[in-house]
Amino acid sequence: MTTLTIRKPDDWHVHLRDGAMLQAVARHTADHFARAIIMPNLVPPVVTRADAAAYRKRIMAALPAGSDFQPLMTLYLTEETDAADLVGAFEAGEITAVKLYPAGATTNSQSGVRNIENVYPVLERMAKAGVPLCVHGEVTDASIDIFDREAVFIDRVLDPMRRAVPGLRVVMEHVTTKDGVDYALSQAENLGATITTHHLIINRNAILAGGIRPHYYCLPVAKRELHRQALRKAATSGDRRFFLGTDSAPHIDPLKECACGCAGIFSSINTMGCLAHVFEEEGALDRLEAFVSLNGPAFYSLPANEVRVTLKKHEEPQKFPARIDTGEGAVTVFDPMFPIHWNLASEAG
């Protein structure tokens, strides 16, 4: 049996939702990760310091007894965001980052930002205080092809914004293109990029070839194979700019399996096994720790976790449920379309 012991991983982008869904999914993130950046796109969104504190309490209450999982809270940036409230929350350690959703880009993004220039004054305050901005990088212009929305966002929004507010620390969330990877690599400082597990595994054929498969639909949508290869190269390179953000985003099956299904892939249960498989395939198991446990904390100026965990490769494929039950209904688990032989075994102290 092959084993790999690494520092406990963190997830730098996850959706835990609220209510019955939160109760069902929180423990799966807490089982595998020491910390996670919690997305604020609830209905209504988490926009104020008080909202974040209240949401954090609900997350803590949903964790299994004795869990030492740490949720790292975020605020949802709107054109009405109060910079003093935001900076106060950051300085008190109540939030770790702020999330930019272009209005209309994805699930519950209606309250997001319509014109980026309207939030430049808040971004200036964030840059001064050192608050990182996590960015959903897609334009929402209906005339732009959905497969091009990330690349166009970099040119039209991200790069001008970073030039207008130098010093702002930015995370390109869930990059899905070679364009995104190349942009991150061209920047010397103040820029990180998360990559999801599923974008390392699927390309757009998974969604569309041989029938439409809604459980592989997420945003940004998976692109063609050359982009997946660029993401694999970036994630397995060990480069400090790239780190894991699973974007595990549960939706109940009826909301995925319908004429206008929701975007989101639920992967928190088998992410670590999938990643070990991918890194082994790329001959890069020795760089898995950088991607899941070291580069993220370094970007966020946090210590890496001291606890170690061991990944084990078993002879037999490991069993993961095809779906989990939640108080709201069933949620399908990400199927990587290969048998997963790896799992996260034990904490080594």
Tell me the catalytic residues: 247
Tokens representing 217 are 């639909």
Q: State which of positions 273-302 bind ligand DOR (CB under 6 A).
A: none
**Does the annotation list 227 as a binding residue?**
no
Q: State which of positions 109-138 bind ligand DOR (CB under 6 A).
A: 136
Per partner kind, with CB cut-offs from 5 to 8 A, the member of Zn ion, ligand DOR, none near residue 56 is: none
| Nearest distance from C-beta of residue 114 to ligand DOR, angstroms | 17
DSSP state of 145: -
Which of 89, 122, 161, 218: binder of ligand DOR (CB under 6 A)?
218
**Does the annotation list 323 as a binding residue?**
no
- For 303-341, give one letter per residue: b (16+ CB within 10 A) or e: ebbeeebebbbeeeeeebeeebebebeebbbbbbeeebb
| Nearest distance from C-beta of residue 220 to Zn ion, angstroms | 10
Q: How many Å apart are CA 335 and CA 323, to the nearest integer? A: 10
For ligand DOR, give the closer residue by CB, 249 or 292. Answer: 249
| Nearest distance from C-beta of residue 119 to ligand DOR, angstroms | 19
**Does the annotation list 314 as a binding residue?**
no
In order of 22, 126, 226, 300, the CA distances from 272 in angstroms are 20, 33, 24, 21
Q: Mask: binding to ligand DOR, 233-272, rule CB under 6 A, as x and -?
A: --------------x-x-------------xx--------
The two beta strands, 35-38 and 191-195, are unpaired
Q: State which of positions 52-111 bind ligand DOR (CB under 6 A).
A: 106-107
Q: Is the dihedral of CA 191, 203, 151, 157 positive or negative?
A: negative
Q: State which of positions 231-270 bind Zn ion (CB under 5 A).
A: 247
**Does the annotation list 13 as a binding residue?**
yes
Query: Computed over its alpha carbons, how large is the radius of gyration of the chain?
Result: 19
SS3 16: coil
Q: How many Å apart are CA 131 and CA 52, to the nearest integer? A: 15
| Nearest distance from C-beta of residue 97 to Zn ion, angstroms | 13
**Does the annotation list 256 as a binding residue?**
no
| Nearest distance from C-beta of residue 133 to Zn ion, angstroms | 15
**Does the annotation list 215 as a binding residue?**
no
The gap between the terminal CA atoms of the chain, to the nearest Å, is 21
C-beta of residue 200 within 8 angstroms of C-beta of residue 242: no
**Does the annotation list 288 as a binding residue?**
no
Q: How many Å apart are CA 75 and CA 84, to the nearest integer? A: 13
For ligand DOR, give the closer residue by CB, 107 or 187. Answer: 107
**Which residue sits closest to Zn ion, CB atoms considered?**
247
For Zn ion, give the closer residue by CB, 39 or 285. Answer: 39
Per partner kind, with CB cut-offs from 5 to 8 A, the member of ligand DOR, Zn ion, none near residue 267 is: none
Residue 100's nearest CA partner among 31, 179, 157, 142 is: 157
| Known binding positions | 13, 15-17, 41, 99, 136, 174, 219, 247, 251, 263
Binding-site residues from annotation for Zn(2+): 13, 15, 99, 136, 174, 247
Binding site residues, Zn ion, CB under 5 A:
247
